[in-house]
Amino acid sequence: MVQWVKYLNMAIFFVFCCCYAYQLVYVGVRFLKKMPREPAKKLHKYAVLIAARNEGNVIGELLDSIRHQDYPKDLIDVYVVADNCTDNTAEVARRHGVTIFERYNMQKVGKSYALDYAFKQIKESLGFDAYEGFMVFDADNVLDEHYVREINCVFDRGYRVVTSYRNSKNFGYNWISAGYAFWFLRESKYLNGARMLCNTSCAISGTGFLISSEIIAGDDGWKYNLLTEDIEFTVDKVIHNEVIGYCETAVLYDEQPVDFKASWNQRMRWTKGFYQVTWKYGRKLLHGCFTGKGFQCFDMLMTIAPATLLTLALLIVNIFAVGYGVYTDHMRVAYVAMTEIWMSIRNVYGSLFFFGLITVISEWKQIYCSPHKKLLYLFTFPIFMYTYIPIAVVALFKQVKWEPIQHSFAQTVAEIRRQDAVENPITCEQRSHL
């Protein structure tokens, strides 16, 4: 029994290494190679799409940041979908001089349906070919003033889908917002950045991406309606040999949840969505691993694979072994299983801490909060990631629906970049009293 416990733990550890060791290679690539920057030969015309549900408190900052882009104003048109709104989202957007689509449909709820509605409206009024590409943002985002110019450089190189550098507005608020921020920074720098340098496909992540009008026309709008429409889009395009690009110098700032309940619900949706994508596309990705674009299919398969369930299975096996050892008085078995549990917790914490550490070192100047918070939340980042384990279990059995996330940090780019603005983030209520 003792040997069985040891061998099983070794086998699962070996599977983990085989599946995810390539991400350590990605880290090496980022330290050894520099991201090239090629100036654009052409300034392309874009439409910006923003799906917003009751975002009147924060959407103004995004629209201001778009207006302040160092890119010709006549080459950017902005469309806001006020989706089932009961607040002043549409009114705020109109005051900023952008085009508003008001949508009311409580049967088909969520960002994906709002995007498709916007695409259909544009198709009917102007046609998809009125623009060369479509940018998609969430209403709580704000953009670096060079965002459009920078992402245009990568688009101009021939990439038909481009994602960007996802930073956070409120890293320093608490351990929850910092946990999200660490993950997105690491994803940008050490996953998408490395993929770009290795000439394999990147992945879009929720917001801050650009899609060629050719693709939108080919799909006749937005056809991805699973709970994680972003990863569904990515996987479908990778299966069809599309290489998604990444622009590290196109920076957006995204608001992260600060309440654990809101975080739990959001990540429950993400996890359930990953299960849906795995179920729908897993077989095609697995088949793709052995065809022309094998590695990028493998990479995406590992991205959506429920690794947390493998971790949970390992814990359950060892807990069972502990119980067996105590019940049958085989204390050696219980001791070995307890040791394996401790080693698993330690190893996972150490791995996550390592990725957090290299992220905070390389992105130190991009994290806008005090030094002591950067270091403090480095230690809580693995704990934040551990909370995915119960989420992964519940998501297996719970019916999950799309639910809006409340956003309350109304900040400009200048305010975000000041440490005091992130130490004491400006909520919408506070701003109303300024």
Contact 2, 333 (CB under 8 A): yes
Q: For residue 284, is it left (φ>0), alpha (ψ between -120 and 50) or beta?
A: alpha
Distance CA 409, CA 145 (A): 19
Distance CA 105, CA 322 (A): 53
Distance CA 381, CA 119 (A): 38
Which uninterrupted H or E stretch holds 75?
A: none
- CA distances (Å), origin 331, targets 2, 111, 154, 319: 10, 54, 61, 13
Tell me, what's the pLDDT at 329?
65
User: Is the pTM above the cut of 0.85?
Assistant: yes
Contact 147, 69 (CB under 8 A): yes
Which uninterrupted H or E stretch holds 131?
A: none
- CA distances (Å), origin 243, targets 45, 129, 211, 214: 21, 22, 12, 14
Distance CA 33, CA 189 (A): 12
Distance CA 245, CA 202 (A): 6
Distance CA 353, CA 162 (A): 29
Residue stretches of the chain with pLDDT short of 70: 1-2, 4, 306, 324-325, 327, 329, 419-434
> What is the per-residue pLDDT across 133-153, written as a single tens digit (0 to 9) for each?
999 999 999 999 999 999 999
CATH of 1-434 among 2.40.30.30, 3.30.910.10, 1.10.3720.10, 3.90.550.10: 3.90.550.10
- Domain locations along the chain: 1-434
Distance CA 75, CA 132 (A): 10
Distance CA 190, CA 192 (A): 6
Tokens matching residue 283: 């077989």
